[in-house]
Amino acid sequence: MADELSRVFQALADPTRRDIVARLAADGDATVGDLAAPYDVSVQAVSKHLKVLEDAGLVSRRRDAQRRPVHLEAEVLDLMTKWIERYRRQAEERYRRLDEVLASLDDESRPREQGAAS
């Protein structure tokens, strides 16, 4: 799993590849030409980006008559989400404990009020 996650995070380190993934997530399957259109780079350059995403398991290509649409493999994103969620929960637990410690320190530093029994 760690190697797969490393490939995914490495693939998503590039802003163009993150944008391609975001567009596929929002708009669904697209051809290489469709994906290349908004960029000031060649279709071959976008194809290289797609190859990196494909090697990481983030996208797949299938033959559909004359077209080869690019498809986002959402389950890989689920794998990333689970990994991130685990560490988010750990961080939240640490912050909760820190809040408790800080609250107890704050309680200890407040002057105690004199009761009626003095």
Could you report the per-residue pLDDT of 75-115, keeping only the tens digit for each? Answer: 998 888 998 999 999 999 999 999 999 888 877 777 665 55
Helical residues (DSSP H) of the chain, grouped into ranges: 2-11, 15-27, 32-36, 43-55, 74-109
- Residue 13 pLDDT: 96
Q: Note whether residue 102 is domain-resident.
A: no
The predicted-structure confidence for 62-71, as pLDDT tens digits, reads as follows 887 777 899 9
- Residue 62 pLDDT: 84
Q: Note whether residue 118 is domain-resident.
A: no
pLDDT(116) > 70: no
| Distance from C-alpha of 56 to C-alpha of 3, rounded to nearest angstrom | 10
Question: Residue 72: which H helix or E strand, with range?
Answer: strand 70-72
Rounded percentage of the chain residues whose pLDDT exceeds 90 = 64
Domain residues for the domain of 32 are: 2-74
Please report, for the chain, how many H helices and E strands are present, in that order: 5, 2
| Distance from C-alpha of 68 to C-alpha of 61, rounded to nearest angstrom | 6
Confidence band of 27 (pLDDT split at 50, 70, 90): very high
Q: Which residues does residue 70 pair with via DSSP β-bridges, in sequence order? A: 30, 61
CATH code, domain with 35: 1.10.10.10
Phi-psi region of 73 (alpha: psi -120 to 50; beta: other; left: phi over 0): beta
Query: How many domains would you assign to the chain?
Result: 1
Q: Note whether residue 20 is domain-resident.
A: yes
pLDDT(33) > 80: yes
Q: Note whether residue 62 is domain-resident.
A: yes
pTM: 0.72
